[in-house]
Chains A and B, each alone.
Chain A
Amino acid sequence: MSIPLPVFVAVPLVTAFLLPIFGERGKRIATLLANLATASLLGLAIAVIGKSGVYEIGNWSIPLGINLVLDGLSSLMLLVIGTVGTAAMLFSARYMEQYTAKAKYLSLFLLMIAGMNGVVLSGDIFNLFVFLEIASIASYALVGFGCGAEELEAAFKYMVLGSIASIFVLFAVGLVYGNTGSLNMAYIGKAIQASGLNLGLTFALSLFIAGFSLKAALVPFHAWLPDAHPSAPAPISAMLSGVLIKTLGVYALARILFNVFGISLHTGWILVILGLTSMVAGAFLALGQWDLKRLLAYSSISQIGYVVLGIGLGGLILARGGNPAWASLALLGGLFHLANHSVYKSLLFLTSGSVEMSTGTRDMRKMGGLGGKLPFTRAACTVASASVAGVPPFSGFWSKLILVIAAVQAHFIWVAAVIVFVSLCTLIMYLKVQRHVFLGELPKTLKQIREHRGAMVVAMISLACLCILMCLLVIIPSLRSSILDPAVKALVDGLEYSTKVIGTQ
């Protein structure tokens, strides 16, 4: 029996179109429904852990019809989207009260989730593009949701650069179709294996890399992110930094490079270089920031660099014909970091939202000594900062450890040195956050502030607990073999993806 994969897209899509009916009066019901939708998505994602399968829409067999494919990698991504989506939605319940048109916000949010789930499950590149556009357009609208000058400018920049990325991808899809006669990823993979890459396909490959790197905000394609992420409402920043750049960027990039085109030395090196430049540039840019959310946004660029570096390193080892176990370790590090980063970065954005809501500013120079006023926010932020800075036993430490060890094992000691150095920069930037936001003297203007409790605190605390517990994902063998290992295997198997998809018909 095949798993009814379309529910992952259908649930958020249907709810999204239902919500505007409730309007301003039925806000509470709309909020409840939206939360139910995200929670059920999380439940579904947990239910399909360890499973794999192909779903053919309308029973039309591929390559004529459209298929949805669930494997280890998509299952990991569904879980990440579900977790962060649930927490961010819960946070929105209270946080979005300060904005008007909450129902519209909720439906845009759900549209974005529908798009991301679609990208993760889609088995053909054109549908991947369609879902990518759904998620992107919803996110453009969400970034500008506050309708202030700053928000609109950021949304406009984001839209221009995002559309360029989409055009790149669309153009590449067209080229691939012209050269292989198929849009289905499994069949394209087969065709490339059979006849090799011609100039048209390499051109398409470059466009894919550029397009998805734009979505993933890798340096030098990152310029939209530091404007867009801080301008969005906090839960949306959490979604954008936590999952959107990973789904539309890293996931799509990894899928196309490993499973469709097959990883080569060139693409492996490109990923490693993109990862390293993003890590270093993002870290230095974050260090100089005084705007709390902007600092977090730059830190996202730096952290996404780790993920891409891990994946690229694994690909490079595979392409060299090196030890597959070494490659698996690097990929494990990258994917584990992806999962960790989505949890702690979304938590950091949520705490920044809580701080902004209480103090009315994002400028760290105007804050200080908030620890006493916002105890829950401070606890959550401390846990998340410790995670991102790699303080044991919090989650970020483990993934960085695996990455360092994988790099040294494969004789890339200089890469390991860069990882460690950027990790130090990360530590310093989060020490800066702690020092200027939560420690020190409370300014006179902020004597009267209070913490907004309720749903917001629940969302933050649950993510903080996850930060502490994430290490179990690698330590407990059964969890690792059902969540991370299949995802790694999906990438290590590379072009066997086609036979797996076509063979299971």
Chain B
Amino acid sequence: MNTTLLIPIFLPLVAGFVLLFCPNRIRALPKVLTLCISIVAFAVAILIFTQGSLTYAWSVLQIDNLRLDLLLHAKPLGAFILLFAMGFGLLITLYSLKSMAGAKRLNEYYGAILLTIGGSAGILLSNHLLFLLIFWEIVTASLYLLITTGGKNSNFAATKSFAMIGASDAAFLLGISMVWTLSGTFVMSDINLATTSAIPIAAFLLLMTAAITKAGAMPLHTWLPTSGEYASASVMALLPAAIDKLLGIYLLVLVVKGLFSLQSGALSVLLALIGAGTIVVAVMIAMVQHNLKKLLSYHAISQVGYMILGIATMTPVGVAGGVFHMLNHAIYKCCLFLCGGAVEQQAGTAELDKLGGLGKKMSITFTACLIAALSISGIPPLNGFVSKWMVYQGIINMGSSQTSAAAKLWPVWLVAAMFGSALTLASFVKLIHSVFLSRLPSRLKNVKEASWLQTTPMIVLAALCVFFGVFYYIPLKLFIYPALGLDASTTLLGTWNSTLATGLIAVGVLLGLLILAIGQLSKKVRLVPTWTCGEVQPNDQMIIPGTHFYKTVSSMNGLRQLYNWQERGFFDPYNQSGRVGLAVTGLLRWLHSGLLPMYLTWVTFGLVVLLFVLCRIW
């Protein structure tokens, strides 16, 4: 019994709940309270991580054999994710102090941040499925609240997100009640079901749906880009980019490796297919986006594919790679969203067309963004490369060591993963070009660097990107291997000597800089106005917009039609089920004509049916 475990859960939850209903006039209270509590939560998370396996139990409810106990257990996987989740909470709180300073509903914003922190701590520490579900839904609801504090149209995005994640929560509830009837308990460490008959398979699929919707994998991803467009950047950085990924993948690992032992070949293929499909399709859509935050959102979807694919390989290296990628993704994507938010705030827009040349004006943001962008594209020696490398290893390993259907298809998964990585790089070239390089539009002459409160989290995250890449064995040995119960000596296949490679890359970059410097010093470059058939154009109006980079792809025959349908929401489960729902509603409303004789007919009809059933008058 250890009550330390209660602190990171209930302190933020209670404080957050109170903040939601506290009057909005006291502007300082939410900030100070949230900052203090997120620091405490982070400190306690460090404590929990270092102290190892703590437990706590309290019986809440018992009706016959339905037991609801608050069982908390700091297992290595949960504890290490907790550490990072609390860290992200703290960084985002810091960032928000400045970025949300002018927001209207500050109490709700900070209240929901605290609810998110507490709820995710609850999910990661809970050893009881029902409590896991309760905390899970608290995080969903706080995502809704957070999105509603954004700008115009955010209410639409919030509704869509809550509806879609709510649907997956409903699947979660159904899934765990099926697990309960099968195994007779809600205690997670006591459950291990074989996926051999229909009911366990259905339960597995339901729980998987919950996990991948939260993480934002296809085809249930569509809430993510919509909220990316309308929610504020700090919200996107906190939840969809970081914590939702951590939680979704945490649940997926639990489901695949803990609650169920996967014995059905079809399920493995399905999982790998979701992973590979998500990687390729989402990155294809991301390439043609014109809005900075929406582009980042599609990448947040695409990267989930690697994590799922890694877990689907079921090989030690692959799973470790998937989980490591989850961590790395949270770091660089959080950083990217924070950079995006800073750009949007300073320049007043997130449309790529209207941005450009901000690299010199916002050099810290530019550097952080560049590091994170290279990292997400899997450029060595950054962290994104290492985990992707591990996922590739896992796929190859699966092909050589397993005989299932999923293993036989290993070349497909490998090609998809590598192709996706290349396209990611392509689309970040576009992003970096059109935001930071290109030419500065005259509108943006007076843009300044964001406040230190905003740049500090970016610097921390970018530094982590480098650190986890160059010294990849430290996080692997400290966090990932113990969390998955792997031997610390598990090695990567192939040769990857990060020290040597880093050294060589550094030398290469230095050489490049040297050449640049020589070119600049020799003064052989001449700047002249652009001359077009007698008309002289001032140089500052000649801008090559990044939005046209991949027009060839989007206007390719076949693809053009698909892009078109995608833009109009044909593949969006939210839109499609909305259409079906409206049709059913329309039919029912047609029956409700408002005419009394019609209603009397129904009553008679009902009575006649009752008489038939009960009195057997047939």
Contacts and interface: CB of A to CB of B under 8 A. Distances in A.
A462 interface: no
Contact of A284 (B60, B66, B581, B614): B581
Contact of B173 (A202, A401, A440): A401
B162 A284 contact: no
Given A205-B614, A401-B173, A210 B178 contact: no
B485 interface: no
Contacts of A389: 166
Contacts of B21: 379
B158 interface: yes
Interface stretch (B260-268, B401-409, B598-606): B598-606
A392 B199 contact: no
Nearest to A287: B585
A17 interface: no
B134 A393 contact: yes
B369 to A, nearest CB: 32
B589 A404 contact: no
A404 B138 contact: no
A169 to B, nearest CB: 12
Contact of B66 (A329, A416, A417): A329
B559 interface: no
A221 B615 contact: no
Contact of A416 (B141, B174, B582): B174
Interface string B571-589: 0000000000110111011
Nearest to B163: A428
A346 interface: no
A392 B17 CA distance: 12
Given A284-B581, A431-B162, A408 B603 contact: no
B614 A202 contact: yes
A221 B174 contact: no
A46 interface: no
A328 B63 CA distance: 9
Nearest to B141: A391
Given A329-B66, A386-B141, A431-B162, 11 more contacts: A203-B615, A205-B614, A210-B606, A284-B581, A288-B589, A329-B63, A391-B137, A391-B141, A392-B133, A425-B581, A439-B155
A325 B62 CA distance: 12
A384 B19 CA distance: 18
A285 interface: yes
B529 interface: no
A375 B20 CA distance: 11
B603 A332 contact: no
A203 B611 contact: yes
B603 A214 contact: yes
B170 interface: yes
B613 A270 contact: yes
A281 interface: yes
Contact of B174 (A206, A375, A420): A420
A160 B181 CA distance: 47
A432 B159 contact: yes
Given A164-B600, A284-B585, A287-B585, A210 B173 contact: no
Contacts of B589: 285, 288
A313 interface: no
B142 to A, nearest CB: 10
Interface in A297-343: 325, 328-329, 332
B174 A439 contact: no
By secondary structure, the A interface counts as helix
Interface string B590-612: 00101010111011011100110
Contacts of A33: none
Contact of A210 (B104, B156, B171, B607): B607
A161 interface: yes
B170 A421 contact: yes
Given A285-B585, A288-B589, A416 B177 contact: yes
A281 B154 CA distance: 30
A282 to B, nearest CB: 9
Interface in B171-198: 171, 173-174, 177-178, 180-181
A221 B588 contact: no
Interface in A200-216: 202-203, 205-207, 209-210, 213-214
Interface in A366-381: 371-372, 375, 379
B174 A404 contact: yes
A409 B65 CA distance: 10
11 contacts: A206-B607, A221-B606, A223-B602, A226-B592, A270-B610, A285-B589, A401-B130, A424-B163, A424-B170, A427-B163, A432-B159
B64 A199 contact: no
A427 B152 CA distance: 22
A168 B598 CA distance: 19
A427 B177 contact: no
A424 B23 CA distance: 31
A431 B614 contact: no
A440 B60 CA distance: 39
A227 B529 CA distance: 74
Contact of B162 (A224, A404, A405, A427): A427
A197 B152 CA distance: 65
B363 to A, nearest CB: 38
Contacts of A502: none
A227 B594 contact: yes
Most buried by B among A375, A379, A420, A440: A420
A423 interface: yes
Contacts of B105: 371
Given A161-B599, A226-B592, A288-B582, A408 B178 contact: yes
B173 A220 contact: no
Most buried by B among A226, A266, A379, A435: A435
A441 B152 contact: yes
Contacts of B63: 329, 332, 402, 474, 480
B383 interface: no
Contacts of A405: 66, 177, 180
A101 B170 CA distance: 48
Contacts of A452: none
A94 interface: no
Contacts of A325: 64-65
A101 B560 CA distance: 68
B177 A210 contact: no
A489 interface: no
Nearest to B167: A424
A482 B247 CA distance: 40
Nearest to B199: A413
Interface in B407-436: none
Nearest to B61: A475
Interface string B141-154: 10010001000101
Nearest to B136: A392
Interface in A138-153: none
B167 A329 contact: no
Contact of B599 (A157, A332, A434): A157
Contacts of A404: 173-174, 177
Most buried by B among A221, A404, A408, A474: A408
Contacts of B104: 372
Interface in A347-394: 371-372, 375, 379, 386, 389, 391-393
Contacts of A393: 134, 138
B592 A157 contact: no
A439 B158 contact: yes
The 8 closest A-B pairs by CB, nearest first: A223-B599, A288-B585, A439-B155, A392-B134, A220-B602, A408-B177, A206-B610, A325-B64
A157 B137 CA distance: 42
B159 A435 contact: yes
Nearest to B154: A439
Contact of A164 (B23, B158, B167, B603): B603
A469 B593 CA distance: 40
Contacts of A287: 581, 585
Contact of A160 (B155, B581, B596): B596
Contacts of B610: 206, 209-210, 270
B222 to A, nearest CB: 15
